[in-house]
Structure formats: C-alpha cells, structure tokens
Amino acid sequence: MTVIVLTLCPVGLRGLLTRWLLEISAGVFIGSPSARVRDLLWDEVTSHAGKGRALLAYTTDNEQGFAFRTHDHAWHPVDHEGLTLIHRPTERPAATSQPAKTGWSKAAQRRRFGNS
C-alpha cells in the first residue's frame, strides 16, 4: 500500500499521479504500485512539486511495518535505534515588544463578576 499526500503542489502533478494511484481526497493519493513504480513516482513528485510539500508512506517489511519520506516539510524522519520517528523542530516564541496578556478580559470579568 502506498499513500502520497501533496500540499500546495501544481495541478499537473496531481494529474500525473492519478495515472497510477486513486485520489481519495484533495491531494491524497492511495494505491499499490510496485516498489520500482513507487520510487519513480516519488522522483517525479520531488522534481515537480515546486514550492509545495509532499509525503510518501508505504508498507514495508520492517519493525514498524511501514516507511515514509518527506519533501520540503519542517518535520523530518529520524532513525532512532531502528525505528523511524518524526523530528518536529521546536517553535521559538517570536520576540514581541508587548508583554503577553494574562488574566481575564474586561468582557469576561463583567460576565463572571456581574459588573456593569
């Protein structure tokens, strides 16, 4: 089983994938091509994705039962003692000139405490 998910990719790439896979939702393709065809499709996806992102997941004979590849994602697969995990980069808070607000809003205070 092979699943390819496209985000912000050209429409022509979606048309190319529909020759081999079934599009079950916008940008989500599923099918059972051979490993050779799957690798050729992935090469086409990575070369024609443009500014878009792509994800490939497929079944394989390993501990997890599947493998995946990413293209232009912020999250990257990382091998950890034989298991493939996703590394999500930590988000750093943007430096703002205003301090973060804490406590209740004035409208919530009026509702909660009955002040007019």
Please tell me the total count of domains within the chain: 1
Consecutive 10-residue runs of the chain (116 residues): their mean pLDDT? 96 94 96 97 95 95 92 89 88 65 75 71
Note whether residue 109 is domain-resident. no
Beta strand extents in the chain (DSSP E only): 2-7, 22-25, 28-31, 53-59, 66-71, 76-80, 83-87
Q: What per-residue confidence (pLDDT) applies to 21?
A: 97
Q: What is the pLDDT of residue 106?
A: 80
Any domain includes 73: yes
pLDDT at 113: 76
Is 94 a domain residue?
no
Instruction: Flag whether 95 is in a domain.
Output: no
Q: Tell me, what CATH number does 72's domain have?
A: 3.30.70.240
Say if pTM beats, i.e. exceeds, 0.85.
Answer: no
Q: Examine residue 37 and state whether it is found in any structural domain, yes or no.
A: yes
Q: Is 31 within a domain?
A: yes
- The residue segments making up the domain with residue 82 are 2-87
Q: At 40, list the tokens.
A: 């050729």
Q: What is the pLDDT of residue 97?
A: 62
Whole-number Å distance between alpha carbons of 73 and 26: 18
Q: Is residue 30 part of a domain?
A: yes
